[in-house]
Amino acid sequence: MKEVCILSGKGGAGKSSIVASMAVLLADRLEIIVGDCDVDAPNLALILGSSGDVECETIRASEKAFLVAERCKSRKKCVRVCRFNAIKWSARNSKPEINEFLCEGCGACEYICPDRAIDIKEVDTGKICYFRSDYGFGVVSGHLKIGERGSGKIVDSLRGKVSEIGRVEGLDLALLDSAAGIGCPVVSSVKGCDRAIIITEPTKAAINDSKRAIELVRHFGIPHSIIINKYDLNHEIAADIEDLADRNEIPIMGRIPYDLAFTDALVNGLPAVICNPHLKKLFRGIVEELMLNMGLD
């Protein structure tokens, strides 16, 4: 199974809307699976729907400190050693109190406590869920727990699940919808992919962020293309993006005009090509080029 990652340096560029429409059209031609790697804000299920059962598994990707109150002799050593201000002294209980949101699981408090009154334990950091979309193909989505770190590890687990399903079901293509930016979950989404598509729009912020996204995919040596969303909102900056692509020999895979049909689709919780079939021709061109690029035509 081949894997393509769709990313955008900047949030709000229309990445998930574009992924949903591409997925619906690709599923007419290929056996596909979609991975929602935006584990901070997994929203693809809202657009693609989820019919039938949803299977979820918990991911334990970080550790935290837990007080064993009956062993604590109230020496306050842990309060002094914590560099993250995660332990406060409770005068009322005469015991330390650990703030789970501030604890980084470094283990210093466990090490310093002579009474072994602190245990470091693995904790749930999120989950990955698998379901069938309303359009027949499978979707794996990752969900980070509030206040947790380890988003990259959740994406790693998600991609493991996508690969396993792809192997067992003999699928052709995985479409991975990355988070915005170039941080840890994006690195986990893009590494090892066969191709990347960078979604951008004609704004100064987007062009700047696209340069960082290009740097990222180049670092991993991944062939990539650009889609300019809402390209007709600012012809001058759109021309700058074309120029950037030209100088870096990056093919432009699609130019999507600003169209209220996308807003309409979002309001109705549907892929744009389903809500507004006049967009199908445009997206067919994009998916055909992707299939050609990936040897899946």
Q: Rule CB under 6 A: which residues touch ligand SF4?
A: 65, 81-82, 84, 86-87, 98, 103-109
Measured from the CB atom, the residue of 98 and 213 that comes closer to ligand SF4 is 98
Minimal distance, residue 118 CB to ligand SF4, in Å: 7
Measured from the CB atom, the residue of 145 and 161 that comes closer to ligand SF4 is 145
Measured from the CB atom, the residue of 86 and 180 that comes closer to ligand SF4 is 86
Measured from the CB atom, the residue of 64 and 153 that comes closer to ligand SF4 is 64
Measured from the CB atom, the residue of 31 and 104 that comes closer to ligand SF4 is 104
DSSP string, 13-49: SSHHHHHHHHHHHHTTTS-EEEEE--TTS--HHHHH-
Q: Give the helix/strand (H/E) hosting 174.
A: strand 173-180
Minimal distance, residue 121 CB to ligand SF4, in Å: 10
Two structure tokens written together for 62: 């970080």
Instruction: Supply φ then ψ for residue 129, to 5 degrees.
Output: -125, 145
Minimal distance, residue 79 CB to ligand SF4, in Å: 9
Minimal distance, residue 64 CB to ligand SF4, in Å: 6
Two structure tokens written together for 104: 């980084």
Helix (H, G, I), strand (E, B) or coil at 289: helix
Minimal distance, residue 76 CB to ligand SF4, in Å: 13
Handedness of CA 222, 15, 183, 155 (dihedral sign): negative
> What angle separates helix 235-247 from helix 204-219, to the nearest 10 degrees?
20
